[in-house]
Amino acid sequence: MELKEFLKLIASEYGPGGYEENVVKIIQENISKYSDEVKTDNSGNLIAFKKGNGKGKLLLEAHVDEIGLVVSKIVNEDYVRIHMVGGVDYKILPGQRLKIFGRNGKVYRGVVGMLAPHLQKSSDRGKVIDFDELFVDVSMNDEKPELGSMAVLDAPVVELGETLLTGKALDNRSSCAVIFEVFKTLSKIKHDADIYALFSVKEETGGVGATVASFSIEPDIAIILDVTHADVNGSMEPEIKLDGGPALGIGPTVNREVFETLKKAAEENNVKYQIEPLPGRSGTDADSIQLVKKGIKTGLVSIPLRYMHTPAEIVSIEDLKEAVRLLTAYIIKF
């Protein structure tokens, strides 16, 4: 399966923190063709292994979960209330369609409602709706979702022209697709290091999965893949651009030797890249993986993404391809 189609497939699937099984299953079925071993652990992480010549262990890590919602109150047979799972900005929710996954295995539809502007008081029309005023209309279902049912935005990934994709969960299924493509590439070339791919769970709710799995793998070096904010109109310096290539993180969280080696691999292979200064914590699984056991040397490679944690995230497939080229070149030099 080609990179773009694989990303569209996994990003459109349901998988909030703690409920990633559907996404993990799709990745497992596809990456197994290019791996020597694939397994899941007790936390639900997926770990794929590609044998080299035993000269060190390199971990490529990306989280599979997405932001979501949980049904927190049943109002009546037509309406439920919700609470956020992960970093959801409630201001984007009014008018959104939801897929709600019941504890009984059934899938329900929902619409996040609010009072129409025609019915609002004139004094209220300019106000941002409070979270407590949001409700989900579930009246279109024959049966109703139970308390504790999980939901995600109903926003499948679609193409915008030849290179751009938009939809939900491109944070961080984009990175998962990059690792999948790297394993496809490694099936055709020789490499000295043993390569582990970790598709970790629960990053959006605390990063538990990455910590557990990296403890068991205990790699020499870990390259964490995630997304970063792109094209934010000068509010961040330096500004990360779509189609500018992957962003290499540099700062206290990142091992300087790993950063320099990644940068050199990019320059020697004419891979487009950008630099992302990190003043402290990166907000990625790199923050926890570097602390495992005696400490793990970490690098951070991020995919530029617009409109993070919304139903209209945007990435460029060209940036993903450049990330694949970068990681492949790094592995060959490892």
Q: Assess whether the region 3-66+168-333 and the region 68-153 belong to the same CATH fold.
A: no
pLDDT of 265 strictly over 80: yes
Work out the average pLDDT over 34-57: 94
Residue 236: per-residue pLDDT: 63
Among residues 164, 130, 106, 99, the alpha carbon closest in space to that of 317 is found at 164
Residue 130: per-residue pLDDT: 74
Identity (one letter) of the amino acid at 7?
Answer: L
Angle, in degrees to the nearest 10, between helices 170-186 and 21-31 = 20
pLDDT of 285 strictly over 90: no
pLDDT of 294 strictly over 90: no
Contacts of 207 (CB under 8 A, 6+ apart): 63, 200, 285, 287, 288
What is the C-alpha separation between 115 and 105, in angstroms, rounded?
A: 31
Catalytic residues: 203
Sorted by where each begins, the domain ranges of the chain are 3-66+168-333, 68-153
Contacts of 127 (CB under 8 A, 6+ apart): none
pLDDT of 103 strictly over 90: no
Angle ∠(17,23,25) on CA atoms, nearest 5 = 125
Structure confidence by residue, pLDDT tens digits, 189-201:
989 999 999 999 9
Structure confidence by residue, pLDDT tens digits, 312-328:
999 999 999 999 999 99
Work out the average pLDDT over 34-47: 96
Task: Write the CATH number of the domain with boundaries 3-66+168-333.
Answer: 3.40.630.10
Q: Which CATH superfamily is domain 68-153 in?
A: Peptidase M42, domain 2 (2.40.30.40)
Say whether pTM exceeds 0.85: yes
